[in-house]
Structure 1
Amino acid sequence: MSRSQDTASPITPCSPKKGEMISSIQLSRPFLTRLQIEYAQSKTIDNIVVYKQRRNQVFSFLMKVCNTLKFPMRTLETAMIYYQRFYLHNSFNTSTYHDVATVCLFVATKNEETIKKLRDIIAVVSQVRNMQLNSEQAENYRRKIIGLEIKLMETIAFDFRIGHVEEYLVKFSKTLSIPKEITYTAWLFSYDTYQLDIALKAPASSIAVALLELACKLEKFHVNISYRELFVNMEAVNETKVDLLDFYISNYNYSFFASIRPELHDTFMDLKIALGNVKQLVEREKRYTEEDAYFDERSYTTGERRFMLGNQRKRLYNEM
């Protein structure tokens, strides 16, 4: 693919003739770099610390709802990815983030074929949030969520392609003959990746390999992993390991893994030191991001909008 094609503007306004409606083309971009994510969030989030705190609360909130409704792990994973993608292009508001999380879960149930009626989801959401809703209030809230649903789907450009870390963990652990106990540790790690923006940067296959490697290091189990044979990107694997280790070093007490293995608090600093300076995902100059139409303010009132699947990142083509 030529460079001009690879960097095509995700939102391309079409010049209308007199009397015609304005139209635009919006491409999906499933993976971004760290600086691109930070740039997008700088335009939609006033206080990133508050946003991250609320994101962790949303994770706990959605986990409780999913457990009550007996949704599988993949539904929670998809909902958290949608939640983070939503705030790349929409302003974060501390009074509505639970509503956004609820619609993300609702759409995730459809995508993962774990469908529940919206009324049933709202009933559990109300219970978890200690909201007392009468029938009229519940109906108004249902309409509010339905209104948010189309906004979410437009934000993600109707791109419902989601890879699941859990599936790759099972597949790769069998291929590499990794014991079930270590695979379970990697599976526990995966819950904490949902609290981070890792899934916005790396595909599920690369995340799974990173978690298996960290679990093997933690349990002192030697394994030889060929990234080429598993069709994963080394830089994406390293990016995942660095992000997760940094999270455990600075916020271990707030992690899901700490609730299972609290005694390992100091171990992750040793793993980070042993990891050393590794090659992570390549960042482009800031000016390219600033000139990228993908990060322009989204319009939800344009007369005609076309949504297309697209991926600017050549480094990930082999993994899609």
Structure 2
Amino acid sequence: MTTADAPPTPVEPTVPKGPNPGAISIANQYIFEQNVRQMLRENGCDPAREDSYRIQGVQLIDNVREALQLPVKTFVTASTYYHKFRMCHRDAEYNYQDAALASLFVACKVEDTIKKSREILCAAHNIKYPDHPLAQDDKSFSRPSELIVGLERLILETIGFDFRVRYPQKVLIKTVRKLLPPEHAKEFLAVAYDMSIDIYKSFAPIKQTTFTTVMAVVELTALLTRLHLDKIRSLELNRWHTNRGCVVETMLDLLDVYAHFQKSTKIGLRFPQDKFINVKIGLNKELDASNRLCRYETFCQQCQAEVKDIHPITPGSATSPATTSSYPGTTTIKRTTKSTDATMRFVFDEDEARREQDTVSDFFREEYEEYEVEVEEKIPESEHNHSRPGQSRHQNHDHGWAPYHRNRHGHSNDRYKGRKGHGGYR
């Protein structure tokens, strides 16, 4: 039997690979304090400047909301989107005013209180320049309107198209009516309701649940007004789906806002500064006396110590586009994608996304076979071993001494050259 008559070797059929399933993005309803710090550090945010932009952005949302007579639910949704957007994008790339107004623009659509982008821009302009009011059809709003519409898509991608937002105001009203008598509920609620708006100037609403936020606002109001404090502290927090550590953390986050930005809050000017400081000292003593409580309920000190500063703050970071107004239309929209050859997909069920990744990974796994090969390489001879033509082998070796340098007259420049008239080496 010849080689030509041999049957061909059977080839196993290979399963063709389908299209790339794309990158999966899962929306997170809650973000821990450690994740907040990590995201801000990766974006290169200056802590002092970040606090200022956060307060001013939420304050701008609240002012425009009141000017347009929008409900509180729209303010809550806009503030939540604003915090999540700024944690995923550097403050040097976008103006905080544009991010705040774009968040309000998206929140108006989500809460079915639809307002045009020009209406929001016009209200913000008239608040900033009350002596020179403009109409919403003014030509100066054309470029900022396009910018807000462009930021709208980035905000939708940031929240992962998950429009769920928690509204603590409704639960707060029901809680106060259940715990306090009617004659004290109105006075108590006048402080607690405004405090529930001030809490969105911190990161507490995106870290804690609705009941945790409500119980922290109720207890902090009782500490400031001295109304029914013993009754509120005697509540079993397990029945309210929270614990003491989360409530204390939320109260301290809110007290930090009142301590550093007292004039930018609704409650800060109603009470003296000493009262906020005394309440904060009392809560810190409670933390020191307890072995189970700490400043942050979920925090890893070891992980925080091992984290390196990826984007250190430099003096030049103060001069960024975020520090200037972008109303003239100087800011450009920058879109960052995690994968250039795959489609970004947004899912809501984390377990389903993991099962899908496990199934698809078998088809896209690349297997390699490792083996060692010994290769003999010829070592080239060094240049000093080859003698120049007309030179003996003995003259080619310098015995470890470098050749003397000669000047243009042909004399040696060695340091043993004799002086003039005293003889020298010849």
What TM-score do you get using the length of structure 2 for normalisation?
0.61
- What is the percent sequence identity of the aligned residues? 25
Specify the alignment match of 2:267 in structure 1: 257
Specify the alignment match of 1:59 in structure 2: 58
Specify the alignment match of 2:46 in structure 1: 47
Please, which of 237, 241, 244 is the counterpart of residue 251 of structure 2?
241
* Range moving further from structure 2, 138-147 or 30-39: 138-147
Q: For residues 121 and 340 of structure 2, what CA distance do their matches in structure 1 show?
A: 28
**Equivalent residue of 1:78, what SS?**
helix
Q: Which one-letter code corresponds to 1:185 in the other structure?
A: V
**Equivalent residue of 1:25, what SS?**
strand
Is 1:193 the counterpart of 2:209? The answer is no
Q: For residues 33 and 77 of structure 1, what CA distance do their matches in structure 2 show?
A: 19
Structure-2 change in CA distance of 1:221 and 1:49 (3 Å): same
**Equivalent residue of 1:31, what SS?**
coil
Q: For residues 105 and 216 of structure 1, what CA distance do their matches in structure 2 show?
A: 32
Specify the alignment match of 1:28 in structure 2: 27
Q: Which one-letter code corresponds to 1:160 in the other structure?
A: F
Deviation at 1:77, TM superposition (A): 1.9
Specify the alignment match of 1:149 in structure 2: 152
Q: For residues 160 and 216 of structure 1, what CA distance do their matches in structure 2 show?
A: 33
Q: What does 1:147-296 align with in structure 2 at a 5 Å threshold?
A: 147-177=150-180, 179-222=185-228, 223=231, 224-259=234-269, 261=270, 263-275=271-283, 276-277=286-287, 278-279=293-294, 280-284=296-300, 286=303
Gapped regions of structure 1 (runs ≥ 5): 1-16, 291-296, 313-320
**Equivalent residue of 1:125, what SS?**
helix
- 1:114-153 Cα shifts (integer Å, max 9, x gaps): 2222332222123234497975442332222111111111
Structure-2 change in CA distance of 1:226 and 1:286 (3 Å): same
Structure with max Cα Rg: 2
Q: For residues 114 and 134 of structure 1, what CA distance do their matches in structure 2 show?
A: 20
Q: For residues 113 and 311 of structure 1, what CA distance do their matches in structure 2 show?
A: 28
Work out whether residues 201 and 257 of structure 2, in 8 Å CA contact, stay in contact via their aligned partners in 1.
Answer: no
Q: Which one-letter code corresponds to 2:23 in the other structure?
A: S
Work out whether residues 29 and 311 of structure 1, in 8 Å CA contact, stay in contact via their aligned partners in 2.
Answer: no
Q: Which one-letter code corresponds to 1:204 in the other structure?
A: T
Q: For residues 38 and 106 of structure 1, what CA distance do their matches in structure 2 show?
A: 27
**Equivalent residue of 1:145, what SS?**
helix
Deviation at 1:95, TM superposition (A): 5.7
Work out whether residues 28 and 157 of structure 1, in 8 Å CA contact, stay in contact via their aligned partners in 2.
Answer: yes
Deviation at 1:27, TM superposition (A): 0.7
**Equivalent residue of 1:116, what SS?**
coil
Specify the alignment match of 2:348 in structure 1: 309
- 1:143-187 Cα shifts (integer Å, max 9, x gaps): 221111111111111111111121121121122226221122111
Specify the alignment match of 2:80 in structure 1: 81
Q: Which one-letter code corresponds to 1:307 in the other structure?
A: F
Structure-2 change in CA distance of 1:177 and 1:90 (3 Å): same
Gapped regions of structure 2 (runs ≥ 5): 1-15, 288-292, 308-335, 352-426
Deviation at 1:101, TM superposition (A): 0.8
Q: For residues 156 and 300 of structure 1, what CA distance do their matches in structure 2 show?
A: 18
Work out whether residues 89 and 298 of structure 1, in 8 Å CA contact, stay in contact via their aligned partners in 2.
Answer: no
Q: What does 1:112-151 align with in structure 2 at a 5 Å threshold?
A: 112-130=111-129, 135-151=138-154
Work out whether residues 44 and 87 of structure 1, in 8 Å CA contact, stay in contact via their aligned partners in 2.
Answer: no
Structure-2 change in CA distance of 1:301 and 1:86 (3 Å): farther
Q: Which one-letter code corresponds to 1:168 in the other structure?
A: V
Specify the alignment match of 1:293 in structure 2: none
Work out whether residues 118 and 137 of structure 2, in 8 Å CA contact, stay in contact via their aligned partners in 1.
Answer: no
- 1:32-82 Cα shifts (integer Å, max 9, x gaps): 221210110011243221121122222222222111100112211221111
Structure-2 change in CA distance of 1:308 and 1:66 (3 Å): same
Q: Which one-letter code corresponds to 2:42 in the other structure?
A: K
- 1:8-28 Cα shifts (integer Å, max 9, x gaps): xxxxxxxxx878456111111
What TM-score do you get using the length of structure 1 for normalisation?
0.80
Q: Which one-letter code corresponds to 1:61 in the other structure?
A: L
Quick check: which one's helix share is greater? 1
